[in-house]
Amino acid sequence: MKSTLVVLVENKPGVLNRVASLFRRRAFNIDSLAVGRTENPDVSRMTIVVDSDQLNIERLTAYLYKLVNVIQVYNLTATPSVDRDLALIKVQANDESRSHIMQIVDVFRARIVDVNSNSLMVEITGDEEKIEGFIEVLKPWGIIEMVRTGLVSMARGASSLLVDPIPVSDFNRITV
């Protein structure tokens, strides 16, 4: 079962390496990892998708809390949330195929971000199923190159995961 974990960490050098090393040491495979700053410049947010059972996810959560730079860990798997992935896809496009590809782009509500005499670069956002479907439709035209961001996820509703923002000076005093 795929689980989505959101890990709030200190925005410091080396934190991503420590978290990734924890997964490696414990033999967990990361399906998707997206990291970025939050509304608080001292906090980064990691969205990690892992294929594992509930017991191992609970263990993994406990391991994450043992890392010094981890502030909070949330399992969003069962929480109503909005999940998005972004892909940039460069596809072969000559004069004959360009209009067909542009129609496909419109159907999937993607957008063309670069045009070349022999290719188009398309940007698409959405859930993983939508992007996988788009990729399958484009394959016959010839995908030259592709990159994906990985899943980002946010719980629905007005509340924030970081309910009581912790000053960076207090991080070292937190006990788990």
Q: What is the pLDDT of residues 22-54, one digit of tens each?
A: 999 999 999 999 999 999 999 999 999 999 999
Inform me whether the pLDDT recorded for 167 exceeds 70. Answer: no
Residue 73's SS3 state is strand
- Is 124 in contact with 112 (CB distance < 8 Å)? no
Q: How would residue 171 be classed by pLDDT, with cut points 50, 70 and 90? A: very low
How far apart (Å, rounded) are the C-alpha atoms in residues 7 and 10?
10
Tens-digit pLDDT profile for residues 63-79: 999 999 999 999 999 88
Residue 67: is it exposed, middle or buried by C-beta count within 10 angstroms (0-12/13-18/19+)? middle
Q: What is the pLDDT of residue 162?
A: 59
Q: Please state whether the predicted TM-score (pTM) of the whole model is above 0.85.
A: no
User: Which pLDDT score, from 0 to 100, does residue 165 have?
Assistant: 42
Give the tokens for residue 38: 């939050």
pLDDT digits (tens, 9 = 90+) for 75-102: 999 889 999 999 999 999 999 999 999 9
Mean pLDDT of 133-151: 96
Distance CA 124, CA 110 (A): 5
- Domains of the chain, first to last: 2-79 (3.30.70.260), 82-152 (3.30.70.1150)
Out of 123-127, 139-143, 165-169, least confident range: 165-169
pLDDT number for residue 160? 73
Tell me if 82 sits within 8 A of 90, measured CB to CB.
Answer: no
Whether pLDDT at 166 is above 90 = no
Other residues' Cβ atoms within 10 Å of the Cβ of residue 35:
18
Residue 9 above 70 pLDDT? Answer: yes
Q: What is the largest CA-CA distance in the chain?
A: 64
Are β-strands 70-75 and 30-37 bridged in parallel, bridged antiparallel, or unpaired? unpaired
Mode of pairing for the β-strands spanning 152-155 and 81-92 = antiparallel
